[in-house]
Amino acid sequence: MPNCKSCGAEIIWATTGKGNAIPLDAKPEHRFVIVPLMGHPENLRAEYIKTYISHFATCPQAEQHRKKPRSKCSR
């Protein structure tokens, strides 16, 4: 399993819906999510699922890995 180059924590890599790579903490958290039943939005079901936290939220050195904002072109 890969490790963060800054803090050494175990991470996993995933792809966002927009196709960008994102590092996630390797250890999942278990949470309940509410899912409306098909055709009956007033009836809700709770599902217990694994969720993963973005490593940018937990890494002490996350700022050094963020993309720099693009500078505005002065004319």
| pTM attached to this predicted model | 0.69
Asked whether 12 and 21 are in contact (CB, 8 A), the reply is: no
Domain ranges of the chain: 11-64
Express each pLDDT in 11-61 by its tens digit: 999 999 999 999 999 999 999 998 888 777 778 889 999 999 999 999 998
